[in-house]
Amino acid sequence: MKEAERKTWEALVKMMKSNEFFISPSEAAEVLRVHPQSLRIQAQKDKGNLGFPVTVIGSRVKIPRIPFLSYVFGVPAATFTTIDEHMEISLYKDFKTLSGQSDNRVN
């Protein structure tokens, strides 16, 4: 796995295991591999074009964690109510498939 994919996956795992309701634009940007300020600007200009919900309060941008994960993996938000090792491995396989890679280390 390339370094960029590894960092993206680590950020996703951290996000999945979190109990926070919201993530920051910096956390989302790490997963999407974009600059955090680009994400903030887009959210303030036209949040409908992002593909996932955001909350803009003044100059602050917050992103609901569960809907963001749902957007990234293309699965219903209910999938992320509980994350166990089996779910993490399954999502890892999905991530590898989406990124066009295969990894024989995970069964």
Region of poorest pLDDT, from 7-11, 45-49, 56-60, 81-85: 81-85
Percentage of residues in the chain with pLDDT exceeding 70?
71
Residue 84 CB contacts under 8 Å (≥ 6 apart), including other chains: none
Q: What is the mean pLDDT of residues 94-107?
A: 53
Residue 107 has pLDDT above 80, yes or no: no
Res. 26 pLDDT band, cuts 50 70 90: very high
User: Per this entry, what is the length of the chain?
Assistant: 107
Handedness of CA 92, 93, 96, 102 (dihedral sign): positive
Residue 60 in this model has a pLDDT that exceeds 90: yes
Q: What angle do CA 53, 4, 98 make, to 5 degrees?
A: 60
**pLDDT, mean over the chain:** 80
Q: Specify the residue for token string 């399954």.
A: 90
- The CA distances from residue 83 to 16, 43, 86, in Å, are 7, 28, 8
